[in-house]
Amino acid sequence: MSRHEAAEVFVQEARDLLERLEQLLLDLEADPGDAGLIDAVFRALHTLKGSGAMFGFDRLAGFVHGFESAFDQVRKGAVAVGRELIAVSLEARDHIRRLLEGEETDEGEAVLARLQAAIEAPAAAAAPRRQTWRIRFRLPANVMVTGVNPLALLDELRDLGPCTVTALTDGLPALKALTPLDCHLAWDVVLTTEHSRDDIEQVFIFVIDEMELDIAEVPPAEERWRLGEILVERNDVPPAAVEEAAAAQEPIGALLVQAGRLSPDRLASALGEQQHVRAEAQASRTAATVRVPADRLDDMMNRVAELVIAQSKLDQIAGASRDLELKSVAEEIGRISLDLRDTTMGVRMQPIGALFGRFRRLVRDLAEELGKEVEFVTSGEETELDKTVIERLGEPLIHLIRNAIDHGVEPRDERVELGKPARGRIALSGRHSGAEVIISIQDDGRGLDPDAIRARAEAKGLIAPDAVVSDAELFQLIFSPGFSTAERVTSLSGRGVGMDVVKRTVEELRGRIELESERGRGSLMSLRLPLTLAIIDGLLVRVGQARYVIPLAAVEECVELTREREVASQNRSFLNIRNSLVPFLKLRELFGVTADPDPYQKIVVVSAGDQRVGLVVDEVIGDHQTVIKTLSPLHADVPAFSGATILGDGSVALILEISHLVAQGQPDEAALRRAS
């Protein structure tokens, strides 16, 4: 690898490290006493400094050195973490990003000066830090007679923080010599807590004078991983015994127990401490990953798509052949192709948590700029979505979150007058729903005002003054270009630019937006997106001589359009399916097919959200792995189709845009309901 290539790798890894640094600082603002977070921030800065100097980023390394030196005071517990310190640290993080991207800036000295001022500013007291303690205690033999319950003492220790408890039975006498009312056990407890040593001693306040109690700090896991070191530090075995067991190249604990140098209880206790400390350290670690350029993933997906098409051709050839061996090979290749498709799509999938994390800083800064108090909560970060979709969702979500803070959440005083909590709440969540992912943004603010939206829509000529329009239909008007109900233009909003971009981007991703709102209670915006843009499962149908693909995730059921059903609809194009009116569209008429229809047509019932429509086709051929190809610029504006695919015989089948067809069928249903 050349030096230039190595520098490019550093830049990419540094970008990821800066993203993590921002999340760590925001987490630290919410939990200032977490020593693990403080150490993680310091390690990130140390890595940036060392790697930057190694690859020639001297200005970056010099600035990070100043940042690291200032933050070392926090690490040592000399300075408490406060809001001002976090704010300046975020500024410093942004400056590092500018240096990484090669921007010419001379703000570094000023940022470091503000950081040093925040460090030197008077602070109440250093925030408590999480520390791991080893507690070994043996109670007086008559402790239970005096009314002290050992289990209650252990519960009090658990209340101080996560702990690992091991009972030591080496003081237990033989059965004949055992006194039932005496306490013969001792305990080892490994406790991680923000509480002090004095707080731990307070647990034993009533028996501390008569008991054996040893409390010691446990070094961090990075400094002490080995079991032998733990046993020596606990005075369970001498160093010579550990060296002797290590020389045998066998598990140290087992050898010491076999040699009678260590009791099984004390081995279990030491192992428990080792696992406890490792678990605490693991919480601050990120899983190991292999970095692969995005274009290689795209290229691999394209190759898999070609394989799927070739496999479809092979299936067609095998289906027309009587060669059983060919059929068997075709089935095996089909299975492997399907597994490879799922594996490749899994590689492209990424948790949306990384995307959600970007908005914590946005919410914090916007709330501060507007003088509002906003709590930002996320859920469903583990939900996975195609990387291409994630990359394009950033801008739409920024618009929606900005609108929620600016237009939705009220100022503190107004919320208090309305009987709401002083702090507003914005919730960003993700979840799977079939072959879709639903990303929702919900706030507890003012909600949408249908009257204001209608007045603005009438002024812009979007609806007639006497038109009968539902609230749901009015809400969709906010996605019209240039539409805004803001009374004044600010740096954040008011120009009517943004929501139309959101809708266009989501539709380009073959998704749709659903909006619910209640005046005075808040709004819920849901983005329904496909899991992937590459390959989907589809239902292949025929209309006339042409074949089309319906995304299988949208299909609810298939029914036959009998002569009786058609007559029952009274030529009003609707079905009565289990006492539910479902409008249907005849694709033959929609696509201008002039050939005679098949005698037994089928209706494929599809849905988008809570709306359904039936699509009348001549034949349902069967399921089909659909490799999505984008339409040419000449056909890209045809709303009935979202793409195309290549079939096994080399012909092209268009993929139906279900949301458009469902929307097209709704006016017929509305008119039908008014007539009924």
Are 60 and 150 members of one domain?
no
- How many whole angstroms separate alpha carbon 560 and alpha carbon 600? 7
In this structure, is the dihedral angle defined by the CA atoms of residues 535, 540, 542 and 543, taken in order, positive or negative? Answer: negative
Strand, coil or helix: what is 318? helix
403 tagged catalytic? yes
Chosen domain end from 120, 146, 179: 120
pLDDT digits (tens, 9 = 90+) for 525-566: 999 888 776 777 889 999 998 999 998 888 899 988 877 766
Q: 121 falls in which pLDDT band (50, 70, 90)?
A: low
- How many whole angstroms separate alpha carbon 442 and alpha carbon 378? 10
pLDDT digits (tens, 9 = 90+) for 74-87: 877 778 888 888 99
Residue 631 has pLDDT above 80, yes or no: no
To the nearest whole number, what is the mean pLDDT of the chain?
A: 82
Residue 123 has pLDDT above 60, yes or no: no
**pLDDT given for residue 485 in this prediction:** 60
Look up the domain containing 307 and give its range. Answer: 301-350
Does some domain include residue 291? Answer: no
Cα 612 to its chain centre, rounded Å, is: 30
Are 88 and 142 members of one domain?
no
Residue 623 has pLDDT above 90, yes or no: no
Are 112 and 47 members of one domain?
yes
Residue 184: give its domain's CATH number: 3.30.70.2730
Chosen domain end from 120, 153, 176: 120
**pLDDT given for residue 126 in this prediction:** 47
**pLDDT given for residue 246 in this prediction:** 63
Residue 224 has pLDDT above 70, yes or no: no
pLDDT digits (tens, 9 = 90+) for 583-607: 888 898 888 888 888 888 899 998 8
What pTM does this model have? 0.58
Strand, coil or helix: what is 61? helix
Number of domains in the chain: 5
Q: 567 falls in which pLDDT band (50, 70, 90)?
A: low
**pLDDT given for residue 278 in this prediction:** 66
**pLDDT given for residue 560 in this prediction:** 87
Please indicate whether residue 509 or residue 3 has the higher confidence score (pLDDT).
509
Are 547 and 609 members of one domain?
yes
Does some domain include residue 294? Answer: no
Q: 222 falls in which pLDDT band (50, 70, 90)?
A: very low
Does some domain include residue 296? Answer: no
Please indicate whether residue 449 or residue 121 has the higher confidence score (pLDDT).
449
Mean of the pLDDT values across residues 69-77?
A: 80
Dihedral-angle region of residue 57 (phi above 0 means left; psi in -120 to 50 means alpha; beta otherwise)? beta
Residue 109: give its domain's CATH number: 1.20.120.160
**pLDDT given for residue 495 in this prediction:** 39
Residue 318, burial from CB neighbour count under 10 angstroms (0-12, 13-18, 19+) = buried
pLDDT digits (tens, 9 = 90+) for 324-348: 899 999 999 988 988 888 888 788 8
- How many whole angstroms separate alpha carbon 547 and alpha carbon 541? 6
Are 630 and 643 in contact by the 8 Å Cβ rule? The answer is yes
Are 399 and 459 members of one domain?
yes
**pLDDT given for residue 96 in this prediction:** 92
Largest pairwise CA distance in the chain: 102
- How many whole angstroms separate alpha carbon 118 and alpha carbon 81? 10
Residue 2 has pLDDT above 70, yes or no: no
Residues 343-367 as b or e (16 or more Cβ within 10 Å = b): ebbeebbbebeebbbebbbebbebb
**pLDDT given for residue 22 in this prediction:** 92
Are 141 and 271 members of one domain?
yes
- How many whole angstroms separate alpha carbon 447 and alpha carbon 550? 36
Chosen domain end from 120, 144, 168: 120
**pLDDT given for residue 279 in this prediction:** 66
Q: 250 falls in which pLDDT band (50, 70, 90)?
A: low
Q: 512 falls in which pLDDT band (50, 70, 90)?
A: confident
Are 406 and 482 members of one domain?
yes
Are 485 and 472 members of one domain?
yes
* Poorest-pLDDT segment among 108-122, 284-298, 427-441: 284-298
Mean of the pLDDT values across residues 405-410?
A: 90
- Find which of 99-103, 118-122, 261-265 is predicted with most confidence, using mean pLDDT: 99-103
Instruction: Spot the catalytic one: 276, 384, 403, 657.
Output: 403
Q: What percent of the chain has pLDDT over 70?
A: 87
Are 150 and 41 members of one domain?
no
Please indicate whether residue 82 or residue 259 has the higher confidence score (pLDDT).
82
Please indicate whether residue 102 or residue 244 has the higher confidence score (pLDDT).
102
Does some domain include residue 321? Answer: yes
Does some domain include residue 287? Answer: no
Does some domain include residue 290? Answer: no
Does some domain include residue 126? Answer: no
Mean of the pLDDT values across residues 37-62?
A: 86
Are 267 and 323 members of one domain?
no
Instruction: Spot the catalytic one: 46, 184, 399, 660.
Output: 46
Please indicate whether residue 173 or residue 245 has the higher confidence score (pLDDT).
173
Q: Which residues contact 568 (CB under 8 A, 6 or more apart)?
A: 576
Q: What percent of the chain has pLDDT over 90?
A: 17
**pLDDT given for residue 426 in this prediction:** 94
Are 345 and 358 members of one domain?
no
State both tokens at 144.
């239970």
Mean of the pLDDT values across residues 25-33?
A: 87
Q: 12 falls in which pLDDT band (50, 70, 90)?
A: confident
pLDDT digits (tens, 9 = 90+) for 434-474: 667 899 999 999 998 888 888 888 888 888 888 888 888 88
Residue 379: give its domain's CATH number: 3.30.565.10
Instruction: Spot the catalytic one: 22, 29, 68, 436.
Output: 68
Q: 122 falls in which pLDDT band (50, 70, 90)?
A: very low
Q: 489 falls in which pLDDT band (50, 70, 90)?
A: very low
576 tagged catalytic? no
**pLDDT given for residue 139 in this prediction:** 92
Q: 484 falls in which pLDDT band (50, 70, 90)?
A: low
State both tokens at 355.
């995307």
Does some domain include residue 196? Answer: yes
Please indicate whether residue 124 or residue 56 has the higher confidence score (pLDDT).
56
**pLDDT given for residue 427 in this prediction:** 94
Consecutive H or E run containing 616: strand 611-617
Are 91 and 108 in contact by the 8 Å Cβ rule? The answer is no
Residue 483 has pLDDT above 80, yes or no: no
579 tagged catalytic? no
Residue whose entry in the numeric block shows the structure tokens 């060919």: 326
Please indicate whether residue 203 or residue 225 has the higher confidence score (pLDDT).
203
Are 545 and 454 members of one domain?
no
Residue 574: give its domain's CATH number: 2.30.30.40
Q: What is the DSSP string of 546-604?
A: EEEEEEGGGEEEEEEE-HHHHHHTTTS-EEEETTEEEEEEEHHHHTT--SPPPSSEEEE
**pLDDT given for residue 106 in this prediction:** 78
